[in-house]
Amino acid sequence: MSQSKDMFFESVTKTFGATVALENFSLTVRSGELLTLLGPSGCGKTTALRIAAGFDRPDAGRILVGAIDITNQPAHRRQMGMVFQSYSLFPHLSVIDNVTFGLRMQRVAPNERRGRGLRMLELVRMDGLTDRLPHQLSGGQQQRVALARALATQPDVLLLDEPLSALDAKVRAEVRSEIRALTTRLGTTTIFVTHDQEEALGISDRICVMNRGIVEQVGSPIEIYDHPKSSFVAGFVGELNRIRLGGVDLVVRPEQVILNNCHTADTGGEIVATSFHGSFMRYQVRLDDGQAVTAIAKHTPGSGMRAGTRVTVKIGDEKNERPD
């Protein structure tokens, strides 16, 4: 395996016409880590990835891999592996030919090429389907082959552009853990782009939350979730209640809201809607003063409450400081 390298975005700015996609964007991706660019659509995360890949040129700033400035290097000279949102396997090539295409470009001898391709396919558990054509594979299989293809050339950095968004929920979870396992095993520096905060929390070593072309916060998933630096981060990562209780403004995660069944109708409110999610239950509560609160409670048999139930509302643990 090639030595994995740090990657740096240095004050990268990119505009498309009047739209600023990235503004003075600086970020260090550490060797071997999986860093997620997370943000709403239009936040610049895909632009950052495309600039890393060499598909777009920045207006200002530099991109470095290790100590080498690759800002002006064309895409095909960069050592980047990329997996795309849409299925991107070459339709006319078999699975093995797709995976070995990059090695072929590097003029690796045919025998060695095939061996390395097969090894990659084993890693993504696709070694039984080497001679299939892409259209004979399911979506999940196609993305696993795409992953193998991107990693076969042992790239400096692996770029993943919402690779799971075309897959259905179950396959998505499967491929997600596969990506994580594989990049950890190979020690590949990875940038993962997504707008799905749950995906980001689940897969990343670190998350870079972006909004309108700037970095809002960089940190581990737990840091981002527990100590959001801005109300944007707090609102975008995980769910958030903004309520005023006892004259104090509070920002509270739904799982910190504790509901108790109560028959004396003094403090609290009423459950207006419920939804069951298997391991947890989600309640929409309207407080007596009209404010809306969302609460999440772990589900145990017999614990569920119905819409219309009167409840008292308490805020659990200490974490109720307001960011900003």
Partner 1 sequence: MATVISRSKTPLWAWVVITLAAIFFILPMLAMARFAFQRVPVALLGRNTLFDRWTLDGLVDMFRDPDFRPALWLSLRISVLTVALTLLVMLPTALWVNVQAPRLRSMVETATLLPYVVPPIALVVGAGGAFRNLAPWFLRSDYCLVPFYAVLAMPFTFRSLDTGLRSIDLKTLIEASRSLGAPMPTTLLRIVVPNITSALSGTIFLTITVVLGEFTIASLLLKPTLPLYMSYSQGRNPQGALGLAVLLLALTTLLFFAATRLRRRGAERYTIRIGAMP
Interaction site with partner 1 (CB under 8 A):
53-55, 74-78, 80-82, 84, 86-92, 101-102, 105-106, 132-133, 135-136, 146, 149-150, 153, 159
Q: What is the H or E stretch that residue 257 is in? A: strand 257-261
Considering the complex, state which of residue 161 and residue 216 has its C-beta at the smaller distance from partner 1.
161
Nearer to partner 1, 149 or 253 (CB): 149
Least Å distance between CB 257 and partner 1? 44
Q: How far is the CB of 120 from partner 1 (least distance, A)?
A: 13
Nearer to partner 1 by C-beta: 81 or 221? 81
Pairing of strands 60-65, 7-16: antiparallel
State the nearest-atom distance from the C-beta of 102 to partner 1, in Å.
Answer: 4
- Please name the residues in contact with 281: beta carbons below 8 A apart, sequence gap of 6 or more: 274, 275, 296, 297, 298, 299, 303, 304, 305
Distance of closest approach, residue 164 Cβ to partner 1, in angstroms: 16
Task: Find out whether 242 and 251 touch, Cβ atoms under 8 Å.
Answer: yes
The CA-CA-CA angle for residues 323, 269, 226, to 5°, reads: 25
Q: How far apart are CA 153 and CA 2, in angstroms?
A: 9
Q: CB 83 → partner 1: shortest distance, Å?
A: 9
Instruction: Return phi, psi of residue 131, to 5°.
Output: -100, 5
Kindly state the smallest distance separating residue 159's Cβ from partner 1, in Å: 8
Question: CB–CB of 279/256 below 8 Å?
Answer: no
Whole-angstrom distance, CA of residue 20 vs CA of residue 211: 11
Residue with smaller CB distance to partner 1, 146 or 313: 146
Beta strand ranges found along 140-221 (DSSP E):
157-161, 189-194, 206-211, 214-219
Cβ closest to partner 1, residue 68 vs residue 292: 68
CA 308 vs CA 112, 116, 255, 269, 272: distances in Å: 68, 62, 20, 9, 6
Contacts of 262 (CB under 8 A, 6+ apart): 268, 310, 311, 312
77 or 319: CB nearest partner 1: 77
Please state the closest distance from residue 233 (CB atom) to partner 1, in A.
Answer: 31
* Residue 183, CA distances (Å) to 24, 171, 243 in order: 29, 18, 41
Question: Do 108 and 116 touch, CB atoms closer than 8 A?
Answer: yes
Choice between 20 and 93, CB closer to partner 1 = 93
Q: How far is the CB of 152 from partner 1 (least distance, A)?
A: 9
Measured from the CB atom, the residue of 101 and 236 that comes closer to partner 1 is 101
